[in-house]
Amino acid sequence: MKKFTLLFLIALVTLNFCVKAQIQQGNVLIGGNIANLSLGLNKPTTFSADITPKAAWFIVDNLALGAYGELGLQTQSGEGTTVTYSIGGLGRYYTGTDVNVLKHGRIFGEATVGIGGVNLRQNGGSTNGFDFSVGPGFAYFVTPSLGLETLLKYNGVVGFGNTTYQHNLGLSFGFQIYLPGKETANKVKGDVK
């Protein structure tokens, strides 16, 4: 069993050094990010989490356009609940070559625009309207089709409610699955024959 585990680890490390990112034209990105994950155990008890699923299509090499959705929840006993939401379009651009520090990493920029809101259940304060965000990120490709990433973004909501503008700076972590597009899949099938 120890030999099998050692061989598996060696194969995984070898594969890790041989991968290339699937960010070519026609490929698809599916995944999401998690931010603000917290569970307070002392009184008053608190819970918070933001989940952002994403899907995009690479229209040219290194440039993907798609859609995203976000749902956030922050609760504190006795203080109420804050709900955040948004839905809209996203754009992501990856740097042209692998980063030298980590051979299989890429720096990217991501921007989103859509409709969203921040609603405080108790003590007022809500904004609903135009949602936007922009920021840099780093994706590390564990395999050719799986990337782990971190993303630092400025998020803002402008619109109607008790407060006309709310904004924050957020750090999120996530994973993306990079699937070959139809043209890439057909090329691979042709190469196999």
Q: Place 128 in a pLDDT band, splitting at 50, 70 and 90.
A: very high
Q: Place 104 in a pLDDT band, splitting at 50, 70 and 90.
A: confident
Q: Is the pLDDT of residue 184 over 90?
A: no
Q: Is the pLDDT of residue 6 over 80?
A: no
Per-residue pLDDT, averaged over 3-19, amounts to 44
Per-residue pLDDT, averaged over 163-190, amounts to 83
In contact, 21 and 94? CB cutoff 8 Å:
yes
| pTM flag (> 0.85) | no
Q: Give the model's pLDDT for residue 1.
A: 53
Pull the structure tokens for residue 156: 């803002």
The conformation of residue 101, written as its DSSP 8-state character, comes to S
CA separation for the pair 30, 21 (Å, rounded):
14
In contact, 159 and 127? CB cutoff 8 Å:
yes
Q: Give the model's pLDDT for residue 58.
A: 95
In contact, 41 and 63? CB cutoff 8 Å:
no
Q: CB 32: neighbour CB atoms within 10 A?
A: 17
In contact, 45 and 62? CB cutoff 8 Å:
no
Q: Is the pLDDT of residue 50 over 50?
A: yes
> Domain map of the chain by residue range?
21-181
Question: Which range among 11-15, 41-45, 92-96 shows the weakest confidence by mean pLDDT?
Answer: 11-15
Using CB atoms within 10 Å of the CB of residue 157, give its burial: 0 to 12 exposed, 13 to 18 middle, 19+ buried.
buried
Per-residue pLDDT, averaged over 157-180, amounts to 92
Question: Which range among 18-27, 40-49, 102-111, 168-177 shows the weakest confidence by mean pLDDT?
Answer: 18-27
Per-residue pLDDT, averaged over 75-99, amounts to 86
Architecture of domain 21-181: Beta Barrel (2.40)
Q: Give the model's pLDDT for residue 11.
A: 45
CA separation for the pair 116, 70 (Å, rounded):
9
Q: String of b and e for 70-94 (b: at least 16 CB within 10 Å)?
A: bebebbeeeeeebebbbebebbbbb
